[in-house]
Amino acid sequence: MLLLLGVAAAPARALPPPPQSRAIDSLRYLLSLPQTDYDRVILLCQVSDQLWTQRTDSAAVYAIKALTLARRVNYRNGEGEALNRLGAALRESNLARALELFQQSLRIAKATRDPALEAQNLRSIGIIYVYLRDKQQGLDYYFRALKIGQKLGDQRRVVIELSNIGLAYDLFNELDSAQIYQERAHALARRLRTPTNYILYGLGNVARKQGRLAEARDFYRQSIAESKKVQHLRSLNFAYVGLATLYQQQGQADSSIYYARLGAQAAQTNGFLRGVLNASTLLTQDFKKRGPADSALKYQSLMLVMKDTLFGQEKVMSVQRLNYREQQRAQAAAASQAALKSRYRTYGLVAGVVGLVALALLLWRHARQQQRAKEALEQSLAELKTAQEQLVQREKMAFLGELTAGIAHELQNPLNFVKNFAEVSTELVDEITGEHHAATGQGPSRNAGLEQEILAGLKQNLQKISQHGQRATSIIKGMLEHSRTGTGQRELTNLNALVDESLRLAYQGLRTKERDFTAQLTTSFDASLADVPVVPQDLSRVLINLFTNAFHAVQQRQRQHLGAAYAPEVAVTTQAVPGGVEIRIRDNGTGMSEKVRSKIFQPFFTTKPVGEGTGLGLSLSHDIVTTGHGGTLAVESQEDQGTEFILALPA
């Protein structure tokens, strides 16, 4: 069977621009210029790459130069590259030495973490095992190289790996697999616009073995044309030999001999011994059938020499010994690694035991400290509770004292008025009694006008007594309402209707007392507002109180600007907000200062004249909204600009 592997064995880092001689001349010119030692090593390797497709002996010379320089300057990556090039150049003449060089380069690639060089060596070692018909080993190395190329995203490298895998399957007559991998390689190479000469003869081999002879002939001829173009003598040898084999199958001995001789010539020029072996094998078979016998003998002798050179028993044994040593080295390394891991596990176990003991001590100590801390915390908590209870009690007493003082102060004023007016009324009664005595002849004559005046004063005093008594009643009623805040039942309520009703009630209530007062009422209700669970009576009290305060504010400003172009206005809006609803009540009244604004929700605080307000309306409203409904009541105001109350309720 003909040997098909090796054309794609050149390192993937070679510079392939055609024509080949021009690329070599360019590299040699660069070598003549001043370069760093590292760059010179890489350039020498690239020259070896180019020469490998033409003359392997010249490629070996440049690889040795690169290796010598890399070792002299301690350039490890460059040494690995040079070893790989030297192995590729020596593979035909010294298989065992080539394998040893590839393995050395592979170790350097792993040590320097160079995945591209690692893949390159895996491919090179795989070629040797395929030469030796070790299918499992060869394909294993090929697939490892492919995996690295795919991980690196190096598509050009992937093309080479796919084609090599296809050639290996072809060698082992697994034609379906060979066709799949060669077609994948060919499609990717066409997309990348890279040479396909080494893929085309692989496709030709598959087509020939499957009986598609016309297709095979076309593939071989395309490979020959492309190989000549890029001066790739190895792929040219394979294409010639493949075409010669095709003609031999068809019984065209002359054509077979013609192309086999061309293949042998290309292989001999390149130093490609396997190519010489393949061509001489074909020529021996052709001349045995057609004659002359001396030509058959000539090429048979050449064939035997090539076989002995390539696969002599000593060479195979040498490769096997090398492989055995490599396996022994790998096993020794694995054993050493296992022993090291075992020692580390022992050390880890000892350290773990020590750590566990230390941890147990730390946990015991920590538990003791926690117990002590817990006891101290419980004692502190008990003291804190006692102090808190005392503080709450003090706060309650302080609030009760403040509340009592406020109630006493608020009630004192109307009670003083009641007392004073009662005393004055008593004197007036005494005067009326004196007039009565005069009328009955027991005193001076009765003065009817004075009597009427005294009775009018008495009536006025009684009215004042009633008024201030009513004020005391209002204060007590407000306090009772404070205590009942939040006791009503909530029900789903149309807020727009409730707000509108409260606005009209407050306005009409003020108009009943002040018939000449008018104000513009502006409403903006959100029609999409859903019903909200509230206590309607309590919320109505809040709204009426806020509207009443707004009307009072615009009325006060109107009185301050008599004759001026001032139009009182009270506006209300409702809208849905995230998590609830919002009611805004705005007026353009007198506004309030920062000092007043900070106190408006305190009980008994009022800015109205004495007798007009209790100071409990906003305090009560605030409690109804916050405590009774879980909402908020805020205020924004500027003096002589107006005030806006913002009432927010949860939905």
Cα–Cα dist 3/572, whole Å: 98
The reported pTM is 0.48
Burial label for 584, CB within 10 Å (0-12, 13-18, 19+), is middle
Count CA atoms closer than 13 A to 581's CA, side-chain side: 22
Class (C level, CATH) for 212-310:
mainly alpha
Residue 542 pLDDT greater than 60, yes or no:
yes
Burial label for 472, CB within 10 Å (0-12, 13-18, 19+), is middle
What residues pair up with 646 in beta bridges, in sequence order?
584, 634
pLDDT tens digits, 270-311: 878 888 888 889 989 888 888 888 888 888 888 888 777 766
CATH number of 7-113: 1.25.40.10
Query: Contact, 550 vs 621, CB < 8 A?
Result: no
Instruction: Give whole-number Cα distances, 387 to 379, 391, 400, in Å.
Output: 12, 6, 19
Beta-carbon contacts of 279 under 8 Å, excluding residues fewer than 6 positions away, are 237, 240, 241, 244, 260, 261, 263, 264, 267
Considering only residues 394 and 29, tell me which one the structure prediction assigns the higher pLDDT.
Answer: 29
- Average pLDDT of the segment spanning 69-76: 95
Cα–Cα dist 393/208, whole Å: 107
Instruction: Give whole-number Cα distances, 613 to 410, 428, 638, in Å.
Output: 11, 31, 22
Q: Do domains 212-310 and 491-650 have the same CATH topology?
A: no
pLDDT tens digits, 601-626: 877 667 666 555 566 778 888 888 98
Delimit the domains of the chain by residue range. 7-113, 115-194, 212-310, 346-483, 491-650
Mean pLDDT over the full length of the chain: 82
Secondary structure element (H or E) that encloses residue 588, with its range? none
Question: Does 3.30.565.10 match the CATH number of domain 491-650?
Answer: yes
Q: State the virtual CA torsion across 182, 187, 190, 196 in degrees, nearest 10.
A: 0
Closest CA to 511 of 547, 471, 538: 547
Q: Is the CA virtual torsion 573, 575, 579, 580 positive or negative?
A: positive
Query: Contact, 15 vs 46, CB < 8 A?
Result: yes
pLDDT tens digits, 491-506: 999 999 999 999 998 8
CATH number of 115-194: 1.25.40.10
Considering only residues 5 and 171, tell me which one the structure prediction assigns the higher pLDDT.
Answer: 171
